[in-house]
Amino acid sequence: MLRDYARTIFFERSREEHYMKKLLREFSKGIFIENPTFRLALGLCPTLAVSTSVVNGFGMGMAATFVLVGSNIIVSCVRKFIPSKIRIPCFIVIIATFVTIVELTMKAYFPLLSKSLGIFVPLIVVNCIVLGRAEAFASKHSVANSVFDGLGMGAGFTLALVVISAIREALGNGTFLGLTILKGFDPALLFILAPGALLVIGILIGAVNYFTEKQHGA
Amino acid sequence: MSGNNFTVSPAPHIRSGLSTRAIMYLVILALLPSGVAGIYIYGFSSLRVILISMISCVVFEAAFLKLRNRDPKIALDGSALLTGLLLAYNLPPEMPFWLPVVGGAVSIILAKQIFGGLGHNIFNPALVGRVFLQISWPVYMTTWKNPRWAVDAVSTATPLAKEGAPLFNYMDLFLGNHGGCIGEVCILALAVGAVFLLVMKIISWHIPFTFIGTVMLLTWIFGGDSMFSGDFTFHLLSGGLVLGAFFMATDYVTRPLTKKGKIIFGIGCGIMTVVIRLRGSYPEGVSYAILFMNAVVPLIDRYTKTRKYGLQK
Amino acid sequence: MELNQLFVIAISVIFINNFILSKFLGLCPFIGVSKKTEPALYMGLAVTFVMTASSLITWAVYIFLLKPFHIEYLRTLSFILVIASFVQLIEMFIQKFSPALYRVFGIYLALITTNCAVFGVAVLNSEMFLKTADNPARALLFCVTQGFCAGVGFTLVLLFMSGIRERLELCDVPRPMKGMAIAFIVASLMSMAFMGFAGFRF
């Protein structure tokens, strides 16, 4: 009985033929087609705030991925018990729990990273990507699917963060992961300051629009 | 304006009888004395900055127009040249050659063409370019040069620099006998150009006079060690106040439309300038003040317009 | 002394560390609700109200609950819970007693529930004033001031932005840059203008 139940929540669609393929699709959609940052414009606040260096961006991406996967698993597990009226507060509690875990772990093991990410670690709790995936995906799909969805979205978010922070670090500090790229290049300080973040994301969104348009328009 | 292929532009329609092109070249003409003064005071290097800046502005404008399948000849309508000139006037006389190029690219692409070109920009392009450079390369942007005839070749601070500013007498400030940006330094030459523009009715008195008046009033009240003891003549004559008030805040596209709006705009610019000059960490606040007020212009227009055309709400 | 400090907090939160332009908090409503001036104003007012009120509530939670029991690590969880339920409560309250007001503000309140600017101000308050608070009453004053002024700064920038975007409707913006992309460019230019306030000396 219990085993049957576990089976349904884990492998709801296990009879489908291309099961692994589907999982993979759940994973890859987050990176490209539904990239949370560039395509859906979700979770922009932390993206802009912490992308001053690649290390910060990657750290933030990893933290958010952990919270995404964790909360997706729990939400998906309990999705059958939670009355739909109070589901949002329940999701928030689940997410907040994982955020607290990340917060304390980071403080203990990566104190420097924790310091430079500042209040944006606790702010993962109000990151629309996390709540959005819990509500739109995990509360309707099996655990396995939700895990891959969380991983994919997390990877997409991390990728976007790394891209943006690589651009900003290179232009604004002349470095990549702290290593000098080009000797004699005068970095433009603006890019690691607030206006630079808004500028880079604006141009990147424009570029993504341009290429999608080209692809569909031709 | 016959024969040019401008698309229909939004709100800031030019009201005077002159064509856009004529106005642009008249403003450039009015700015010439100040440029000549800058070149005379700081020598050949300022001419180099001016030329690089103007050429790069026109080239970037033409390139972007080409990219959008528009006629690249529009780049010669004078507005890009004017932007380049104003940008150069806001730069120190000596700097690496690529700095004005970057400034021109930012001014033209980021502040003007991306909004749709002339008549569409929200912020003053030359000022966006200058502020971009100021934030990005503060060291180059604050390396001043002494006048050619100064004995010590070591560059000094501008009069507005907050610590260790040497004393200047008013005549030196008025004629431009001190370190500063190329086009803002000689008040006499700027005044000649400003009078020309006022007489030709290309600009009205509302913005420059309320702007300068507010700065003088507030620096008189708060600028000194005690209340009402500030040196307002000094604040009038130093920094980019005259250049900004007459030539940049009055830009047709980025100023309010109504008289009432212009007065509000001028006073706002004045307040922001004084706040940054007296309290901020940057020595000069004029460019930031004008940019800040540029952002408010659509709201000013909205609430000073007496009648709305078309649909109400 | 105290008045001076309050002034410093106000200027700093409104201009120097503006929530949108320099701290990047509340970007979703900033991009989402800035297309027209009127909704922007209502959104700003709603955010200001909720920020002020939640500064007060989280102060109470921290001083009377988290601190005495030494469970400060539950800050994230407890703050988000009280803020979310408070906003829900307000929403229901307004819906019940003033349907007219609800028609204007209801939708914005729903959007604010998980707004990072509101949560952000609570976390910032706790980092800046509550952790080291020896005088709870003073901390309350600072928290509420910061909450209110953060809302004012938010409203101000949202209003500027909405004015600009109304004008942009008429502009010949290149097609890929339309919408969000150009909104971010405008925000970037505004942020440059706000940099003029950096490094204020009081």
Answer yes or no: are the C-beta atoms of A97 and C81 closer than 8 Å.
no
Neighbour tally for B220: CB within 10 Å: 17
Task: Assess if residue A207 is contained within a domain.
Answer: no
Nearest CA-CA distance, residue B62 and chain C, Å: 15
Residue C104 pLDDT > 80, yes or no?
A: no
Query: Among B142, B274, B292, which would you mutate to test the C interface (most chain C Cβ atoms within 10 Å of its Cβ)?
Result: B292
Task: Assess if residue A62 is contained within a domain.
Answer: yes
Task: Mark yes or no for CB contact A189/B136 under 8 Å.
Answer: yes
Contacts of B136 in chain A (CB under 8 A): 188-191
- Given this model, what pLDDT does residue B14 score? 47
Task: Assess if residue B41 is contained within a domain.
Answer: yes
Task: Assess if residue A99 is contained within a domain.
Answer: yes
Q: Percent of chain C at pLDDT above 70?
A: 98
Answer yes or no: are the C-beta atoms of A101 and A171 closer than 8 Å.
no
Task: Mark yes or no for CB contact A190/B136 under 8 Å.
Answer: yes
Contacts of A194 in chain C (CB under 8 A): 21-22, 24, 191, 195
B/C interface, count of CB pairs below 8 Å: 100
Q: Could you give the C-alpha distances from A2 to A5, B165, C95, C105, in angstroms and in order?
A: 5, 82, 44, 48
Task: Assess if residue A65 is contained within a domain.
Answer: yes
Domain count, chain B: 1
Task: Assess if residue B12 is contained within a domain.
Answer: no
Domain count, chain A: 1
Is A180 strand, coil or helix? strand
User: Of C37 and C134, which is predicted with more confidence?
Assistant: C37
Task: Mark yes or no for CB contact C116/A126 under 8 Å.
Answer: yes
Query: Side chain identity at B68, as an amino acid letter?
Result: R
What is the ipTM for the molecules in this complex?
Answer: 0.89
Task: Assess if residue A8 is contained within a domain.
Answer: no
- Given this model, what pLDDT does residue C146 score? 94
Task: Assess if residue B170 is contained within a domain.
Answer: yes
Task: Give B9's pLDDT tier (boundaries 50, 70, 90).
Answer: very low
Report the predicted TM-score, pTM, of the whole model to 2 decimal places. 0.89
Neighbour tally for C74: CB within 10 Å: 16
Return d(Cα B6, Cα B116) in angstroms, integer. 11
Task: Assess if residue B111 is contained within a domain.
Answer: yes
Contacting partners of chain A (3+ CB pairs under 8 A): B, C
Q: Is A184 left (phi over 0), alpha (psi -120 to 50) or beta?
A: left
Using alpha carbons, select from C89, C77, C70, C90 the residue that is nearest to residue C122. C77
Task: Assess if residue A115 is contained within a domain.
Answer: yes
**Alpha helices for chain A (secondary structure H):** 2-10, 19-31, 44-50, 54-78, 87-109, 111-117, 128-133, 143-173, 194-217
First and final C-alpha spacing in chain B: 33
First and final C-alpha spacing in chain C: 12
Comparing CB atoms, the residue among C76, C124, C183 nearest residue A96 is C76
Comparing CB atoms, the residue among B10, B281, B289 nearest residue C198 is B281
Task: Give A5's pLDDT tier (boundaries 50, 70, 90).
Answer: low
Residue A164 in tokens: 């943006």
- Given this model, what pLDDT does residue C59 score? 93
Task: Assess if residue B294 is contained within a domain.
Answer: yes
- Given this model, what pLDDT does residue B310 score? 54
**Interchain CB contact of B265 with C (< 8 Å):** no
Answer yes or no: are the C-beta atoms of A41 and A205 closer than 8 Å.
yes
**Per-residue pLDDT averaged across A31-37, rounded?**
75
Q: What is the pLDDT of residues A92-114, one digit of tens each?
A: 889 999 999 999 999 999 999 99
- Given this model, what pLDDT does residue A24 score? 81
Q: Percent of chain A at pLDDT above 90?
A: 37
Contacts of C190 in chain B (CB under 8 A): 295
In terms of CA atoms, which chain A residue is nearest residue C113?
Answer: A126
Task: Mark yes or no for CB contact A193/B135 under 8 Å.
Answer: yes
Structural domain range at position A99: 22-163
Answer yes or no: are the C-beta atoms of A172 and A189 closer than 8 Å.
yes
Q: What is the pLDDT of residues C28-85, one digit of tens each?
A: 788 888 888 888 898 899 899 999 999 999 999 999 999 889 888 888 889 988 988 8
In terms of CA atoms, which chain A residue is nearest residue C112?
Answer: A126
Comparing CB atoms, the residue among A44, A104, A190 nearest residue C73 is A104
**Domain containing B230 — which CATH number?**
1.10.3430
- Given this model, what pLDDT does residue B286 score? 92
- Beta carbons within 8 Å of A212's beta carbon, 6+ residues apart: none
**Interchain CB contact of B248 with C (< 8 Å):** no
DSSP A179: E
Structural domain range at position B233: 20-304
Domain positions in chain C: 2-9+35-194
Is B63 strand, coil or helix? helix
Answer yes or no: are the C-beta atoms of B78 and B25 closer than 8 Å.
yes
Q: What is the pLDDT of residues B176-209, one digit of tens each?
A: 888 888 988 899 999 999 999 999 989 999 999 9
Task: Assess if residue A184 is contained within a domain.
Answer: no
Contacts of B10 in chain C (CB under 8 A): 167, 170-171
Comparing CB atoms, the residue among B111, B299, B301 nearest residue C189 is B111
Q: What is the pLDDT of residues A140-194, one digit of tens each?
A: 888 988 999 999 999 989 999 999 999 999 999 888 887 887 777 888 999 999 9
Task: Assess if residue A75 is contained within a domain.
Answer: yes
Q: What is the pLDDT of residues A10-27, one digit of tens each?
A: 555 555 556 777 778 878
- Beta carbons within 8 Å of B148's beta carbon, 6+ residues apart: B41, B42, B43
Task: Mark yes or no for CB contact C80/A125 under 8 Å.
Answer: yes
Contacts of B102 in chain A (CB under 8 A): 188
